[in-house]
């Protein structure tokens, strides 16, 4: 049985703004809807909030029309989020930890880690540098780095589409 995908905010926004505009590639969005209803992917409520709390546009409307695909965290997800928060606070510089924890990213990792899902994101993993003065990772917290720490597989949009057999 194929694992489900847990989709990050970056996938939706970049698809909407760059690769798969609603007017040019409606098949992409219809396929996402169909796969979501088939249980092949989900996302989390925090991603829904990021998509709908921005300006009112076609992407926000699409997310609202598909709200059932954006899950509220259950107990297992909340417990995993706590583990992620503890790691990030301990490992990363405070200003970057705060920014990461205020985003949907830790919820995406928590959802995937708690449910054995694959994270779909356009963020790239980066080499981490530990500042010898602070003994913390210097720079922004990257979702793929946190995924790797928790043993969560991560892929990009195109790999997800290949695995789902998407064709234009």
Cβ–Cβ < 8 Å for 6, 36: no
What one-character-per-residue DSSP string does 99-144 give? HHHTSSHHHHHHHHHHHTPEEE-S------EEETTTTEEES---HH
Write out pLDDT tens, residues 114-128.
999 999 999 999 999
Packed helices 75-91 and 105-115: angle between N→C axes, nearest 10 degrees: 130
pLDDT more than 90, % of the chain: 89
Query: Is residue 108 scored above 80 in pLDDT?
Result: yes
Q: Tell me the mean pLDDT in the region 141-145.
A: 97
* Closest C-alpha to 10, from 81, 73, 59: 59
Tell me how crowded residue 123 is: count the other CB atoms within 10 A of its CB: 20
Q: Please report which residue ranges of the chain form alpha helices under DSSP H.
A: 9-14, 26-37, 45-52, 58-65, 75-91, 94-101, 105-115, 143-149, 157-164
Query: Is residue 2 scored above 80 in pLDDT?
Result: no
* Closest C-alpha to 84, from 108, 60, 64, 66: 108
Query: Is residue 166 scored above 90 in pLDDT?
Result: no
Cα 78–141–9 angle (5° rounding)? 65
Where in the chain are the domains? 5-72+155-164, 75-152
Do the strands 118-120 and 129-131 form a parallel or antiparallel pair, or are they unpaired?
Answer: unpaired
Read off the pTM: 0.94
């Amino acid at each position: 049985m194929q694992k489900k995908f847990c989709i990050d905010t970056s996938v939706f926004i970049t698809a909407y703004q760059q690769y798969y505009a609603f007017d040019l590639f409606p098949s992409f969005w219809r396929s996402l809807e169909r796969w979501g209803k088939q249980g092949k992917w989900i996302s989390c409520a925090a991603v829904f909030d990021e998509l709908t709390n921005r300006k009112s546009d076609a992407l926000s409307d699409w997310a609202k029309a598909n709200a059932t695909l954006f899950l509220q965290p259950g107990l297992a997800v909340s417990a995993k989020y706590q583990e992620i928060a503890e790691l990030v606070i301990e490992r990363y510089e405070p200003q970057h930890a705060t920014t990461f924890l205020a985003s949907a990213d830790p919820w995406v990792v928590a959802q995937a880690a708690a449910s054995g899902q694959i994270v779909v994101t356009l963020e790239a993993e980066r080499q981490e540098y530990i500042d010898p003065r602070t003994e913390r990772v210097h720079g922004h917290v990257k979702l793929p780095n946190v995924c790797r720490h928790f043993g969560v597989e991560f892929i990009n949009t195109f790999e997800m589409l290949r695995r789902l057999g998407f064709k234009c």
